[in-house]
Structure formats: C-alpha cells, structure tokens
Structure 1
Amino acid sequence: MSSLENTLASPVPLTQPAPSAANQAGHFLLPVVGAVSFVHLLNDLIQAILPSIYPMLKASYGLSFAQVGLITLVFQITASLLQPGVGFYTDKHPKPYLLPIGMVFTLCGLLMLSLVHSFPLLLVASGLVGLGSSVFHPEASRVARMGSGGRFGLAQSFFQVGGNAGSALGPLLAAIIIIPRGQGAVAWFCLFAMLGIAVLCRVSRWVVESHASTKARAGGAVRQDLTPRQVKRALLVLGVLVFSKYFYMASLSNYYIFYLVERFALPVQEAQMFLFLFLAAVALGTFAGGPIGDRIGRKYVIWASILGVAPFTLLLPHANLVGTGVLSVLIGLILSSAFSAIIVYAQELVPGKVGMIAGVFFGLMFGFSGIAAAALGQLADMTSVTHVYQLCAYLPLLGVITALLPNLERKAG
C-alpha cells in the first residue's frame, strides 16, 4: 500500500478545475484503481463461496433446487435493491467511508454463515453478505472512475476484473478449505473481509483528502447530442442486454456443477475445477472489454460480446465433456467483455450520475442473477438441469437489439 500512501500524501487542491477526459489521459492512478479492484476481488471471492458450497448445504440440510435458488435470490435481492439508492444519494452527498462500512456487513454475514444451522438463518446470513455488496459496488465503481485519468473503460475493466478474479478463486478456495472441513470453515474467509476493511479505510481517506468526490461531481455535464427519449430508449436496451447476459451467466455460475454431475457423472470437486476455468475465463475477458471500448467504441464491444457468443451457447448442451470445458471457457471470455462497456456507455449517456448508474446496472446484474437462480432452480426441479441449459442457450440472441443503441464517439484517447 506504499504507492497508495504516496497518492494520499499529494491531494489535489479543491480549487483546481475538473479536467476533461482528454487531458486526464496519462494520469491513470494505478494505486487507487488497483486498491478498489483488489477489494472487489476479496468481495466477490466471498460472494462466490455461496454457490460453491451449495452441494454441501443441499446434502446437509436436505434442500431442494428451489430452496438453493431461494438462498441465491435473497442474496441477490439484498445485493441489488439498495444499489441504485446508494448511488443516487452519494452522487449528491458523497460518503467515502461507506466503503469499509459495507465490508463490515459482509464480515457479519460470513460469521453467521459459519455458525448457523437452520435454513432461515442461512437466508439471513446470505442477505447480510448481499447487503455489504450493495454498499460496496456503487462507491467503489465511482472511485475507480475518479482514478481513471480519462481512461474510463480501462478503469472500469480493471475494477471489474478484480471481481471476476475473486469469483473464479472463490470456488477453488471453497473446494480446498470448506468442502473437506465443513460449514464451520467458512469462518476462515473472515480474514479476507478484515483485509478489505483495512484497504478501504485507506481508499476512503484518499477520497476525502484529495477532494476527488467533489471534483468528480463538478465534472458532470448534460449531453446535448441526444434527446431525453433517446437516452431512455438506450438505457432500456442496455437493461434488456444485461438481462440476457446475466440470465445466461446465472445458469453457468449457479448450476454448472450440478450440470456436470448430472450429465457426465463428475465428482463435485472435479466439477468445481471446471467452474474455476469458466470463471477465470470470465475474469480475463472482462479486462479486454473496457480498453477495447475506449479505442473503438462501447457499442461494438457490446454487440460482439452478447450476440457473438450465441453460436457457442447453442452448441454447449450437445458437446461432450472436453467440448463442454472448451466451450464454457470461450463463452466466459466473450460474454464477460460486455459489462464494463455497458457501465461506461451508460455513464456517458447520463453524465454526472456515476454512482446512480453504477448502482442501477450492478443492481440489475445482481437482481437478474437472483431471479434467474430462483426461476432456473424451479425449472430444474420440474425438468432437469440439462433442459435448463438447452433453453438458456437462446438468450444471447437478444444481443441483436444492440443495433438500437446510438453511437457515442467519446474515447479516452
């Protein structure tokens, strides 16, 4: 954290005018963006514990697929409903120290998850972990943009890839630490939450001392090249694209292990390695989307990511075990590149509302993922997990509506 301390020691005066994206280029604050990306890794690593231990919880408590989906739904609802409100409020009234406070909620949820022994209390524990995420994401996304130096796509990808890397590491660490030792071993992950609290306290101090949140608010401007109706239509299109992306992603992240066990009779720990490969591909693909969008435009990245993955999703339910592993990696690489581009595109549609837009789209991501987990769990109970994958394969075809988005030629240089 020495680089971050140096950044903290050199705050920008409040009277300095907010620089444009063009002349900010070249001042990418890696210690700041790297710090929130690192905590995003810790946050999403903790979140990834839940789906990774579903088979263990299902066996221990005799849960149905519908109950497994309900755990995810409670987590995703608490992780999504508050995000737009948090972002809207902090756009007007910045609260930098909400960042470590959010991680405290996550810590409490982890402690409960390691100790409780009833289904209702499992729901409460998952809700607390989700509450921590709902506070963390809008504010951390805002800090990443503050440190972007005008390279908004790069900063958002850097921030987002931390979360995806954490999502990939979560199942691996769960397989090593929790599965052999049981539910009580979840308590070891409290160390990650405490580390996140320490780092976020330093980040919050930098925001306060550099007046970064004040300058970020001052830099907002109303777009003059689009009518309010065009902006609303574009936001609606982005919402539909997030729906298609995260309904499909929920089928893989929540039920991929069950699919591999049902279709190929893999042991759970071996199936978790396949999930790790998929999530690692998601992390790698995420990092590419933002910088490419800075250069060629966000719309083209969104188009190629969502519609371009459709041939692979359509093939996946018919592939053998090796083909399934290869296709899942390709799907992760391609589909994951969209979200950073979607976030930055939406922030460019509505300048000056960085926190609210981040909250809305992270909220949609969590909300759609939770609804999908519950709905797909019900469908899996009624039919089979294989049938779920056959239906979800068509969702990326909704990417064709990307054609309705206006071209925004705002590049970071």
Structure 2
Amino acid sequence: MRRLRPIGLMAIGHACVDVYQGAVPALVPFLVAERGLGYVAVSGITLAATLLSSVVQPVFGVLTDRRPLTWLIPVSMTTAGLGIALLGIGDSYLLSWLAAALSGLGVAAYHPEAARMARAVSGGSHVGMSWFSVGGNVGFALAPVLVTPIMAVGGLALTPVLVVPALVGALITTLAVRSGVSRVAASRMGRPGTDDWSSFLRLSVIMVCRSIVFVGLGTFIALYAGERVGGGTTTGGAALFVLFAAGAFGTLLGGRLATRYGRIRTMRTSYGVAVPAIAGLVFVPGPLFFVFLTLTAIALSIPFSLHVTLGRDFLPGRVGTAGGMTLGLAVSIGGVATPLLGTIAEHSSLRLALSTLIALTLTSCLLGYFLDEPAPQ
C-alpha cells in the first residue's frame, strides 16, 4: 500500500501530461475542417509536437542521470499544456507549428525524471511500472474524449481551455513530491551494473518501429475511420478513443503477462499478433474495422511498459538515459515519420500509407528474437 499511493499519484500525473500527446491527433480533423490543411500539413503539426521532443529527450535523460530534477516534472507538464492551449489561436500555420513544438518540449522534459521516480518507488516491479505506463495510455485515451466535444462546440478558438489538465497534473505531482516521492526515488537511483548497449540499441530499434506505427495510427486513424465507416469527426473521435483506451488495457495486461511468461517472450508474441491485426484493420471492410482496431491497440501496447523495464535493465548505470529513450524518444520519434506517411497518402491513398505499418510491426517482432532476458541487477 505504501508503494501504491506514489505510483498512483505518478500515474495520474503521467495521464495529465500524455493528454497532450493524444490531443494533437484529436485536433487533426478540426485542423482539416477549419483550416483546410492536407495530409502533409497536418502531419507537419504532428512532426512539430514530436521532432523537438525527440531531439532533446536524450539531453534531459543525461541531465537526470547526474542529479535529481523533480522540480522539472510540474514545470514540464505546464509547458506541454500551454503549447496545446496556444495551438488553435489565430490562423497562422507557423504559430500553430511552434505551439505544437512547445508542447513537445514539455513532454520531452517530463519523461526521464518521472520514469526514474516511478522505477524507484515501484521497486522495479513489472506490474508497478505497467500502472505508471498505463497512466500515459489513459491520457492518450482521454484526449479525444476531452478535445472532440470542446472543439465541436467552439472550434479551435477554445484550445486555451485544454491547459486545465496540465494545471491539475502539476498540482498533483507537486503534492506527490512533497509527500516524499522524490526522497524515495533519490535513495534508489543509479543501481550498479554493466550497461549492455548492444541489446539496448536493438531494443531501441524495436521501440522506434513501434512508435512510427502507433503515432501513424494516432495521426491518421480518425480520418481513415471517417472514410471506412462514415460519421465524420464523431467517428474519428470514437476511433481514437478505442485506439488509446484499448492501448491502456494492453499496457496493464503486459505487466501481468511479463510476470508470468517473461518480458522478451511476451514482447515477441504481442508484436506477432499485431501484424495480422493491422492487416485486418487496413484491408478488411465493414464494421470489423473497430474489432481489428481494438486488437491492434492491445497488441501494440502490451510491450510498452516492458520496454521501460528492459531499457533500465540493459542500462542499469544510466537509468535517466534509458528512461528518456523508452518513455520519451522512442515514443515521440514516430512523429518524424508521419510526413512521409502523409506524402504517401496524398499521392496514392491513406490505405496504402497505413499498409506500410505492417512491415514495421513485423520488423519489431523479428528483432525480438535477437534479444535475451537481461540478468537481474
């Protein structure tokens, strides 16, 4: 119970900050409707939210390896919310791009230190880390539920309202730090051990492929659902909710499966299931769209928290760097590839663009066979 409270508080904070990663895809249909943006333009907004995050994430990881930066967590959350709040103000594409980049910077600053603290207070438990990780999934899932109704009522002019989760999350995180979470985390940092960079780099490639797939789906699934099922932005919001909510369930399931069957075996199997699931999502017509979407989200999310604990065990002497990669860079870098997906969609079809994600998922599955379970540290 002593560990449950800080992990619970941190999971809530994680949900509040990752609302802003999910908010960008949720805003895509409204950017298309109100500003007439094409696939490449809206994928550029996603790129803005992820490119800066991807570049600076390792820097924050190195900094948190040197000293605790618990104060950075509430500050970064507020920054992430402020960027999204400014995204819909005015009609300038450049200002919207910069606002999305500001939000991405906040997200980048949050994850390394938060991941370190979560790892410490959970005692390295797979289930404990899955609870922290699922907070991020819940944030993603709540994003369309929060964004779509507000945008439907007032359009992009109401994006300033979206700063509220950041303020709430910052308050909760501050209370968590004051209650002693930071002291517990600091006392457990920097476990000794041998860094296995070779395995960590293979894991990083797996995570990058997974990131491209998940961010690509998050960016375009709302538009694709409208094409396949009809219903416009309402159907798009529902598709995003299914993607992120089923992902939250998959993340929790991953921790329990890993405890029983091992992390590497669970990861390989889940990516193996994801390959036909994405194929069904892209090519099978009719109402089965949402069935395959649910299966895809679960299969892609089962390995998510396992990436985090594996990264720490491969780099036990650099837990901040590992956290920045597993919860940050390898998640956000998927946005770098979205303009390429958008270009394919504009020159051919959205179906062809999404079909390329099947090969990336297969790559993650195959690379899993070149990893072994790390020795306990």
Give TM-score scaled by structure 1 length. 0.86
1:91 paired residue among 48, 65, 68: 65
Q: 1:315 to 1:186 in 2, by over 3 A?
A: same
Distance 1:274 1:253 in 2: 9
Aligned to 2:137: 164
Quote the RMSD (CA, aligned, Å): 2.0
- 1:402 and 2:376 matched: no
Aligned to 2:92: 118
Query: What amino acid does structure 1 have at the position aligned with 2:270?
Result: S
Q: CA deviation at 1:114?
A: 4.2
Aligned to 1:345: 310
3-state DSSP class of the match of 2:154?
coil
Q: CA deviation at 1:170?
A: 0.8
Contact 1:80 1:362 in 2 (8 A): no
Query: What amino acid does structure 2 have at the position aligned with 1:289?
Result: G
Distance 1:46 1:118 in 2: 20
Gaps of 5+ in 1: 1-26
Aligned pairs (5 A) from 1:117-196: 117-151=91-125, 153-196=126-169
Distance 1:366 1:104 in 2: 20
Q: CA deviation at 1:193?
A: 1.2
Distance 1:213 1:162 in 2: 18
Q: CA deviation at 1:255?
A: 0.4
Q: CA deviation at 1:308?
A: 2.5
Q: 1:401 to 1:150 in 2, by over 3 A?
A: closer
Deviations 1:72-122 (A, max 9, x none): 111101222222211211121111111111122123213322433310000
Query: What amino acid does structure 1 have at the position aligned with 2:242?
Result: L
Aligned pairs (5 A) from 1:43-82: 43-82=17-56
Distance 1:104 1:273 in 2: 27
Aligned to 2:340: 375
Distance 1:127 1:366 in 2: 15
Q: 1:207 to 1:99 in 2, by over 3 A?
A: farther
Q: CA deviation at 1:149?
A: 3.0
Moved over 4 A (4+): none
Contact 1:157 1:289 in 2 (8 A): yes
Q: CA deviation at 1:183?
A: 1.1
Query: What amino acid does structure 2 have at the position aligned with 1:288?
Result: L
Aligned pairs (5 A) from 1:187-206: 187-206=160-179
Aligned to 1:250: 215
Q: CA deviation at 1:257?
A: 1.4
Query: What amino acid does structure 2 have at the position aligned with 1:136?
Result: Y
Contact 1:298 1:341 in 2 (8 A): yes
Distance 1:271 1:361 in 2: 28
3-state DSSP class of the match of 2:287?
helix
3-state DSSP class of the match of 2:69?
coil
3-state DSSP class of the match of 1:309?
helix
Distance 1:197 1:104 in 2: 7
Contact 2:216 2:335 in 1 (8 A): no
Query: What amino acid does structure 2 have at the position aligned with 1:41?
Result: A
Query: What amino acid does structure 2 have at the position aligned with 1:165?
Result: V
Aligned pairs (5 A) from 1:199-214: 199-207=172-180, 211-214=183-186
Aligned to 1:18: none
Q: How many residues align?
A: 376
Contact 1:245 1:395 in 2 (8 A): yes
Contact 2:23 2:144 in 1 (8 A): yes
Q: CA deviation at 1:333?
A: 1.0
Aligned pairs (5 A) from 1:289-368: 289-368=254-333
Q: 1:183 to 1:248 in 2, by over 3 A?
A: same
Deviations 1:329-366 (A, max 9, x none): 01111110112111101111111322110102233334
Aligned to 1:24: none
Q: CA deviation at 1:267?
A: 2.0
Gaps of 5+ in 2: none
- Which has more helix, going by share of residues? 2
Bigger radius of gyration among the two: 1
